[in-house]
Amino acid sequence: MLVLLFAVFYHRWLPEARWTLVHVVALGLITNSILIWSQHFTEALLKHRLPDTARPAQLRRIRTLNLGVVVLIAGMMLTPYPAVHIPAVLGGAVLVGGAVAWHATSLGRQLRAALPARFAVTVRWYITAAWLLPVGAVLGAVLGVADLGAAAHARVQLAHEAVNVLGFVGLTVTGTLLTLWPTILRTRVPESSLPRLRVALGLLLAGVLGTAASSLVGWRPTAAAGLGAYALGVLVLLGWLVTVARTRAPRDYAGLSVLVGICWLLVGAVWTGVLMLRADWAGLDLTPVTPVFVAGFLVQVLLGAMTYLLPATMGGGPAPVRAGNRELTRLSWLRVTVVQLCLILFVLPPALTGSWVRAIASILGVLALAAFLPLMIRAVRAQVAARREMITARAAAADRRRPGGTEPGAGPGSEAGSAPWARPGSGPAARADPSSGASYHAAGSPPSPRRDHGVAPAHPRREILAGAGLTALGVAAGLALDPSGLQRALHGLGREPAGTGHTTRVAVKATAAMRFEPAEITVSAGDRLILEVTNADDTTVHDLVLDGGATSGRLDPGASASVDAGVITQDVDGWCSIVGHRQMGMTLRIRADGASSPGEESSGRGDSSADGQGAGTEPALDLQAAPGKDHRTRSAVLDPAAVDGLEPNGTGGVIHRMTLTVTEQTLEVAPGVALRAWTYNGDFMGPTLRGRVGDTFEVTLINRASMGHSVDFHAGDIAPDQPMRTIAPGESLEYRFTAHGAGIWLYHCSTAPMSSHIAAGMFGAVVVDPSELPTVDREFLLVHSETYLKTTGRKDDAGRQLTEVDPARVPTGVPTLAMFNGHATQYAAEPLEARTGQRVRIWTLAAGPSLGMSFHVVGGQFTTVYKEGAYRLLEERDAFGHTGGRAQALDLASAQGGFVELTFTEPGTYIFVNHSFAQMERGARGLIRVE
C-alpha cells in the first residue's frame, strides 16, 4: 500500500506510470492478498491445518511472487533499453505466473488430502482462478515485449484483462464471498439461495473463457457475448448479496466497501462490452474503464475485506475485537461516499469535467482510500491495548478471589484464564471468522452485535452529506481554477438556448490530408447538431474540438465518436487539437443559417482560448539561472565508432543496431521551463549513432506515444515510402540503410507538421567518420536546435512553467529558445573540459527545424574545418594547398553539419556560441573550461 501511494503521488516521474500504478495494485496488493488469504481460508474451510514445516514453502511462494513483481516493473520502466527490458519482462512474468501456479498446485494437494467438507467448493474455485493467472502472465509478457499493431494489441490486452481481472480476481472474490459476506454481516445465509451463487460462478467462468478466447482469435461478437455472460453472472452475484443482506444490512466500512466494489465490477464489465461494440479492434481503447476495475473493484473489495479480517484474525476476545473494529470503521459512510463520487467524476469525459476537477477528484478519492492505513495502525494499537487491559483486569480479579494462587479451572484454556484471549485467532472473534467453517449456519440466533460488531456510525446520513459536501467543494475548487469547465458542465447538463426541436446529423471525416470533410457545415439556426466524426487517416490520431469544449476525444485510425454540438444559434468554429494540425488547415466551420447576428447569442459554449492547448503566452525565461536539480546534463563527449563485437555486414563494414522508442515526456529545456516533449528514447534530442563509411544501420522504431510518428535518416539514400512512413501508436517498423557518405547527418521525425515534431525534441545525429580521420585528444558533439513554446498556464510537479510547442509561432522564425543538445544553459552550468595543448574536435549540426547557425568559440581559432562531407581547411591548409589559414566560424544552414578542430594554448574559460547573437541570447551558448 505504501508503494502504491508513492507511485500515485510521484507518477509524473515514473516511466510507464499508468502501467505501473495498475500493476502495483493488481500484482502487488491483490495477488499477494489472494495468495495469503486463500491459503488461510482453505485450511479453515477444509479443517485441514498444514503443519509448521509447510510454512517455509508458502513464504518462498510469496517471495517468488514479489521478486517477479519487482523484476517485471523494473523491466517495464527500462523499455527504452531492450537488452534489459525484454529479459526482465519475460523473467518477471515467469516468476509471477510460476508462483501462482505453485500456489494452485499446493491448494490442490490440500483438497485431495482433506476429508469432504461442506465448503470445499470455495477451494475448487480458488484453484480454478489461480490457474488462470499464468495464462494472463503470458499474455501480459506478449504485450510488454512484442511489437503489436493496434488491432492485435487491443485483442491481446482484452484477453489479458479478462483472464487476470475478471477471472483470477473475480472468481477468487466470488468464491470467498460465499462464506465471507454472511460473516461480515454477522448473519446466516438462506440455504435456498446457495444454488444462485453456483450459477453466478458458472456464468463468470464461461464469460472469462469466452471473452479471452474470442478476443485472441478476433471474434468481436462472441467476445462481447462473453462479457455479457460475465455481467449477467455479476448481476446474479449482486442479487445473492442483497438476499443475504436482507436480514442484516451492511452498516460499516467492510460491508459497504465490498458491496460497492462488486457494483463497480458490473459497471466495468458492461462498459467494456459497450466499448467493444462501438469500435473495431484497431480503435478499441480500454483506458477509460481501467479506473473502474482498479479503484472501483479491486481496491475497494480488498480494503473492505481487510477491514473485517484484520481485527478478527488478531482476535483476543470480544472487547479487543470491538476496539479494533471501532477504529477501522470510523467515518465509514463518509469514506465510501467520497470514493464513489470522486470515481464517477474521474471517469466522466474530460471534456465535461476539465483537468482540474479530475485532478482534485483523484486526490480526494486516493486520500479516502488511503485513510485505511492510519486507521489500521490505530486499530492495531487499540486492540493490543484492550487485550492488555483485559488480561490485567482478569489477573487482578483472580488475585482478589484467591489470594493463594490460581484457582482450579482458571488456568490456560479455560474461560476465566487469559491465555485463550491472548492467543490470536481464538475466542468469539475467531468463531465469527469465515475460517471457522462458517459458523453463521449453526442453529440459534446470529452473534449479538454487542459481542461481535464494531461501533456502527451513529449518523450515517450526516456522513453521507459530509462526503457529498467535501466532494462538491473539490468540484468548486476545480471549476474556480478552470472556469471554462463550468461552461462545459452546463453544456453537458443541457443548459442551452431553446431551439426548434429539430436535430441535424452530419458525418465528418478526418483525413490524412489534414482536413475535415466537409470543412464547412450549414444548419438552420436553432437546430441541434450531432456530428458523427470518423478518423479516416490510417496512421495518425486526430480529434475534433468545438468552441467551448465539446470534443470527440482522441480518435485512433478508424475510430469514430459522436459530438453533440448543441443548439446552434451562431457560427461555431472547430479544429483538431493535436499539436500543429490546426495550423495545417485542420479546421471546421459550422454556419448558423438565419441567425439574428453573430454576437447576439452564443451557442451555449463560449470561447476555449485558442486551440485548447493552453494559456498561449510566452514563458518567462531566466537564462542566467542554473538548470533544475532534477535535470541531467547530457554528456557532449562523443565516443569513437564501435567496431569490436559487431556483426559484419558482408561488404567490409559492420552492422549497428539501435531501437528508437517514441514516448511523450515532460522535460526541462531551460531553467524553470518544462516542455511536453516528444522524444526518441526519452530525451529531447535522440541518441547519437556513429559508424564508418560502408557500415549498415538497422534501426527499430517503436511508437509508444499517443499519436503517429516516424523517422527520416538523412544518412541513408533509400526510397522514403516505407521506412519513413508514419506509424500509429503501438506499431513499429524496421529502418535499414548503409552509410555511403561521410559527415554528420540529421535524423528527425517526418510526420506533419515536421516543424512541430522537431521543435518538440524529435531529432538526433548520425556521425559517419571520413576515411583516415585523425585521432584527437578530445571529441565533442554539439547539436543546435530551436524551439517555439507557449505556456499552458500550469506548472509541473517540480514547480516549473509547463509549456508546449506553439505551431503558430514557427512561421515567425522567432524561437523561444535556441539550445545545444536539448537545454539552453546546461553547458554554462557544467562546462566542457579540455587541457592546454590538446587537439579538440567539435562536431556540430544545425537540426533546425528552421534556423541554421554560425558556430564560434570565443578566444579560439579553427585550424581544421569540415563541412558537409568535405574539408574547408585541414590543419591550416586549404583546398589549393595554401597554408597558414584559419577560420573563426563554421556556418551551417538548417540540416547541415560538420566539425572544427582547435588547440587551446592558454588555460581559462572559453565560450562557444551561435554567433547569430539573437539566438545566442536565447540560450545557444556554453563554456569550455581549459586547464
Q: What is the mean pLDDT of the chain?
A: 84
Distance (Å, whole) CA 819 – CA 913: 10
Mean pLDDT over 540-552 rounds to 80
Task: Give residue 113's pLDDT band: very low, low, confident or very high (50, 70, 90).
Answer: confident
**Which range scores top for mean pLDDT: 203-212, 475-484, 801-810?**
203-212
Mean pLDDT over 134-139 rounds to 93
Q: Would the annotation count 762 as a binding residue?
A: yes
193 touches 182 (CB < 8 A): no
pLDDT > 80? residue 860: yes
Distance (Å, whole) CA 44 – CA 60: 21
pLDDT > 60? residue 432: no
First-to-last alpha carbon distance for the chain, in angstroms, is 52
pLDDT > 80? residue 8: no
List own/partner pairs for 628-634 with CB under 8 A and 24 or more apart: 628/668, 628/671, 628/672, 628/798, 628/800, 630/13, 630/668, 630/798, 631/668, 631/823, 631/826, 633/823, 633/826, 633/827, 633/829, 633/830, 634/683, 634/685, 634/821, 634/822, 634/823, 634/826
Amino acid symbol at 677: A
pLDDT > 90? residue 447: no
**pLDDT tens for each residue of 280-308:** 776 677 888 988 999 999 999 999 999 99
Q: Would the annotation count 915 as a binding residue?
A: yes
Amino acid symbol at 374: P
Amino acid symbol at 442: A
Distance (Å, whole) CA 667 – CA 570: 41
Distance (Å, whole) CA 828 – CA 912: 10
More confident of the two residues 784 and 455: 784
Q: Would the annotation count 757 as a binding residue?
A: yes
Is CATH 2.60.40.420 the classification given to domain 495-593?
yes
Task: Give residue 443's pLDDT band: very low, low, confident or very high (50, 70, 90).
Answer: very low
Q: Which residues pair with 153 in a beta bridge?
A: none
178 touches 197 (CB < 8 A): yes
Question: How high is the pLDDT of residue 343?
Answer: 92
Q: Picking from 374-383, 414-423, 545-554, which range would have the lowest pLDDT averaged per residue? A: 414-423
Q: Which residues pair with 508 in a beta bridge?
A: 533
**pLDDT tens for each residue of 395-429:** 888 777 765 554 444 443 333 333 333 333 444 33
> Cell digits for 623?
537564462
pLDDT > 70? residue 499: no
Q: Would the annotation count 749 as a binding residue?
A: yes
Q: Would the annotation count 11 as a binding residue?
A: no
- Residue 902 φ/ψ region, left for φ over 0, alpha for ψ in the -120 to 50 degree band, beta for the rest: beta
More confident of the two residues 266 and 601: 266
Pairing of strands 696-703, 655-670: parallel
In sign, the C-alpha dihedral spanning 233, 236, 242, 243 is: negative
580 touches 753 (CB < 8 A): yes
Question: How high is the pLDDT of residue 203?
Answer: 93
What does R_g of the chain's alpha carbons equal in angstroms?
33
Question: How high is the pLDDT of residue 9?
Answer: 57
Question: How high is the pLDDT of residue 616?
Answer: 60
**pLDDT tens for each residue of 692-724:** 999 999 999 999 988 889 999 999 999 988 899
pTM: 0.57
Mean pLDDT over 715-743 rounds to 92
**pLDDT tens for each residue of 216-251:** 998 988 999 999 999 999 999 999 899 888 888 888
**pLDDT tens for each residue of 632-654:** 999 999 999 888 888 998 888 99
Question: How high is the pLDDT of residue 152?
Answer: 82
Mean pLDDT over 601-617 rounds to 42
Q: Picking from 87-91, 456-460, 570-574, 703-707, which range would have the lowest pLDDT averaged per residue? A: 456-460
Q: Would the annotation count 48 as a binding residue?
A: no
* CATH class entry, domain 655-930: mainly beta
260 touches 314 (CB < 8 A): no
380 touches 324 (CB < 8 A): yes
Question: How high is the pLDDT of residue 396?
Answer: 84
Q: Is 199 helix (H, G, I), strand (E, B) or coil?
A: helix
**Which range scores top for mean pLDDT: 433-442, 447-456, 758-767?**
758-767
Q: Would the annotation count 160 as a binding residue?
A: no
Q: Any idea how long the chain is?
A: 931
Going by the DSSP 8-state scheme, the letter that residue 895 receives in this structure is T
